[in-house]
C-alpha cells in the first residue's frame, strides 16, 4: 500500500488508514474500500476544508490557495480492517470497515457545529446524501463521524442519520 497515494488534493491514503495499534494483518483497504475513501475525500472532505477556511479562517481578500491562515482537516480514523475495528472497540458492521466513514477531529463544540452545518448544507446543496453524521465527545475530546455509502446501493442505502453522542 502506498501511504503517500493521494485520494484527493489534500488527503492521502496514509491519513485515512493510520493507526497507533499494532496489527498482525495490517490496515490495508481493498480497491473497493479505497474507492469509497476517495469518494469521501473528493466529494466531502475537500469541500468541508474549503468551506470552513473560506467562512472562518481567511481574512477579507485572502486567497485560499496561497494563504497561511488555511487550516487542514484532521482525520482521527478512516478505514479499519476487521482486526483494527475489534481492537478499537468499533461497532460490528461499522462503515469504517468498507472505507465509507471517517472520524474528523474537532477543536471544540463550536468547530464541531460549524463542520456539521457545512456538511449538512453540502448534502442539501448537491443533492448527495450521507449515511451517518454523528457528533461525538468524550470529556473534552470532540469529533464528527461522517459516513457516506456509494450511490449504487451495494453497501446499503444512505440513511441520513444525525446523532448526538455526548458522554
C-alpha cell at 88: 478499537
Ramachandran bin of 99, using left for φ above 0, alpha for ψ from -120 to 50, beta for the remaining angles = left
Q: What are the sequence ranges of the domains in the chain?
A: 31-166
Q: pLDDT tens digits, residue range 97-114?
A: 999 999 999 999 999 999
| pLDDT tens string 35-78 | 999 999 999 999 999 999 999 999 999 999 999 999 999 999 99
25: cell is: 494483518
Give strand ranges (E) for the chain: 75-77, 101-106, 132-138, 141-147, 161-166
Cell reading at 30: 481493498
Joined grid coordinates for residue 71:
487550516
User: What is the CATH code for 31-166?
Assistant: 3.30.1380.10
Q: What is this structure's pTM?
A: 0.94
Amino acid at each position: 500500500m502506498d501511504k503517500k497515494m493521494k485520494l484527493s488534493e489534500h488527503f492521502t491514503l496514509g491519513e485515512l488508514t493510520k493507526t497507533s495499534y499494532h496489527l498482525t494483518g495490517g490496515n490495508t483497504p481493498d480497491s473497493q474500500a479505497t474507492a469509497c475513501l476517495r469518494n469521501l475525500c473528493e466529494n466531502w472532505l475537500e469541500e468541508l476544508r474549503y468551506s470552513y477556511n473560506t467562512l472562518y479562517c481567511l481574512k477579507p481578500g485572502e486567497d485560499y490557495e496561497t494563504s497561511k491562515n488555511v487550516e487542514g482537516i484532521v482525520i482521527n480514523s478512516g478505514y479499519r480492517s476487521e482486526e483494527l475495528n475489534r481492537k478499537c472497540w468499533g461497532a460490528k458492521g461499522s462503515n469504517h470497515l468498507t472505507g465509507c466513514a471517517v472520524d474528523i477531529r474537532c477543536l471544540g463544540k463550536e468547530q464541531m457545529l460549524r463542520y456539521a452545518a457545512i456538511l449538512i448544507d453540502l448534502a442539501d446543496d448537491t443533492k448527495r446524501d450521507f449515511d451517518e453524521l454523528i457528533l461525538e465527545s468524550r470529556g473534552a475530546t470532540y469529533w464528527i463521524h461522517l459516513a457516506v455509502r456509494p450511490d449504487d446501493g451495494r453497501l446499503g442505502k444512505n440513511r441520513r442519520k444525525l446523532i448526538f453522542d455526548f458522554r
